Structure 1
Amino acid sequence: MEHLQTQGISLPRLGLGTFRMQGDVCRAAVESALGLGYRHIDTAEMYGNEEPIGAAITAAGLPRKELHVTTKVWHENLAPDAIRRSFDTSLKNLGLDHVDLYLVHWPSKNMNLPAMFETLMKLKGEGRTRAIGVANFTVALLKTVVEEIKAPIACNQVEYHVMLDQTPLRKYLAAKSIPLVAYCPLAQGKVASDPTLMAIGRKHGASAAQVALKWLLDQDGVAAIPKASRTESQKANLGALNVGLDDEDIKAIAGLPKDRRCVNPGFAPAWD
């Protein structure tokens, strides 16, 4: 498994997303993934599944330093005191003494960025999170955080897949050596039935989903966290690492529509 080095942490490029996984199903999924060799687990306070994930991590008995755990603070909890309360609860639910990466899950219209990042940097300074970052931040917001506040951002986690162009954001992140972590990397399953991706898959003895995932992982500075509760899906996603896409494949993928955003809640920022 390749890793991305960022702000003192080593981020496995393929991780497990856990949105909408709950209870015993979530615990079993994480135990399965860890058993298969996944070492990057992504969660959030809003998912309501940190406890089963913590139980799965405990059951796996892996050395803590081998594991990367990301969690996130919800956009309604971005006041400094609320961040601390959320963080304490997340750590307790996960049963850990630190997380590897703590993200602002979504920007908020009334957030105080300097106060937020002062709090996040204190948590980092206390060793309770090894790194801090953001999710769903636009280039305009990133410029404020990175260039004005000078916060040590370890990643921006955003929706990114073969059907959504993120070129301006990618260019900015690359210029600042900040990784992009792609959530919904399979466009919530839409890639599986795409004729172009299916055709490329047939050529390589792979599925359309594996083609879509490898397209992301072939890009510098990009990691991906596909959600997969079934062991077969988790294995298939790992199998994507062995797919070799050629120039003809890349050209065909470039021709797919690039305006299909799957996640756009009412509180989302105005996308650049």
Structure 2
Amino acid sequence: MNATRLELPSVGLGTMGIDDPAVIETALELGYRHLDTAQIYENEAVVGEGLARALEADVVERDDVTVATKVWADSLAPDDVRRTTAESLERLGLETVDLLYVHRPIETYDPETTLPAFDDLVADGLTRHVGVSNFTVDEVERARRLLDAPIAAHQVEYHPLFQPEDLLEQAREHGFPLVGYSPLSGGRVGDVEEVVEVAAKHDATPEAVAIAWLASKEGLVTIPKASGRAHLEANLEAIALELDSEDSARIDGIEREKELFPE
């Protein structure tokens, strides 16, 4: 059992769709220290190559970077968990991944057999931490009961148009970070009136406001995707934007709940 709590930076890099190792290397040069990929993204080798280049160039130390990947829903039977994790490690060029998620609790997911297989990976040193992704409150509670390893993170969709506050409260209660993906509402945040108005007040972009809003929430970190250097820089710099309580309340109060990536 790995009892060390996982500490994640406020902003990490979501890599879905990134197909150039140079993007990963640039992100690490700029200061990103959390790289998030998945088997279903089909780019673990890209992430691994970018990390390898950064390590070779002494841009970063391996221990300073959290590398996360996820086992897809068709590979959650115990033997498949181990096999596909080994394949992921080979593509990433790593002996151990820092954080391994159950990507979605669907298809071949059986908590009674899947979760012990993840515990075995921790015991055998193939992953340092176990995470869950796209779970409900009840599914997280069941996973907590069945896992020997503490849940290290829960990754869910979280942005101005979709705010699962019950999951954030649960994460806070149990002391693990909620990792919010799609923080820019799938590119739609620039059309959200409340966010646009807060951005105008601060002479900032709606994108920066959305990231700052997320990063200001206790227990919540975010992983925006970016591939160009300017956007990579802007997403990191957004955490320096200080929103006041009125700004946050305006965004918190958005009534539309639009999950962009349902099951």
**TM-score normalised over the length of structure 1:** 0.90
In the superposition, relative to structure 1, how do residues 7 and 114 fare at CA in structure 2: closer, same or farther (>3 Å)? farther
> Deviations along 1:101-159, whole A, 9 cap, x unmatched?
00001111552212211111111112221101110010111111113555511011000
Candidates 6, 9, 14, aligned match of 1:17: 14
Give the superposition deviation at 1:257: 2.9
Aligned to 1:153: 151
Deviates more, 1:166-175 or 1:240-249: 166-175
How far apart, in 2, do the equivalents of 1:78 and 1:138 lie? 18
Report the number of matched residues: 257
Aligned to 1:49: 43
Candidates 53, 77, 82, aligned match of 1:84: 82
In the superposition, relative to structure 1, how do residues 43 and 119 fare at CA in structure 2: closer, same or farther (>3 Å)? same
> Deviations along 1:67-123, whole A, 9 cap, x unmatched?
110000000000011001110000000001111100001111552212211111111
How far apart, in 2, do the equivalents of 1:88 and 1:193 lie? 42
How far apart, in 2, do the equivalents of 1:140 and 1:99 lie? 27
2:160 aligned counterpart, secondary structure: coil
Structure 1 segment 153-232 matched on structure 2, within 5 A = 153-232=151-230
Structure 1 segment 128-139 matched on structure 2, within 5 A = 128-139=126-137
Aligned to 2:259: 261
Identity across matched positions, percent:
38
Q: Supply the RMSD in Å over aligned alpha carbons.
A: 1.5
Deviates more, 1:8-17 or 1:224-233: 8-17
Unaligned runs of 5+ in 1: 1-5
In the superposition, relative to structure 1, how do residues 7 and 107 fare at CA in structure 2: closer, same or farther (>3 Å)? farther
How far apart, in 2, do the equivalents of 1:8 and 1:140 lie? 22
> Deviations along 1:179-227, whole A, 9 cap, x unmatched?
1100111111111232321221122221111111111111111110001
How far apart, in 2, do the equivalents of 1:228 and 1:187 lie? 14
How far apart, in 2, do the equivalents of 1:182 and 1:257 lie? 19
Deviates more, 1:9-18 or 1:252-261: 252-261
> Deviations along 1:16-67, whole A, 9 cap, x unmatched?
0011222x3xx12111111111011000011000111111111101221011
Candidates 24, 33, 40, aligned match of 1:39: 33
Unaligned runs of 5+ in 2: none
How far apart, in 1, do the equivalents of 2:18 and 2:197 lie? 31
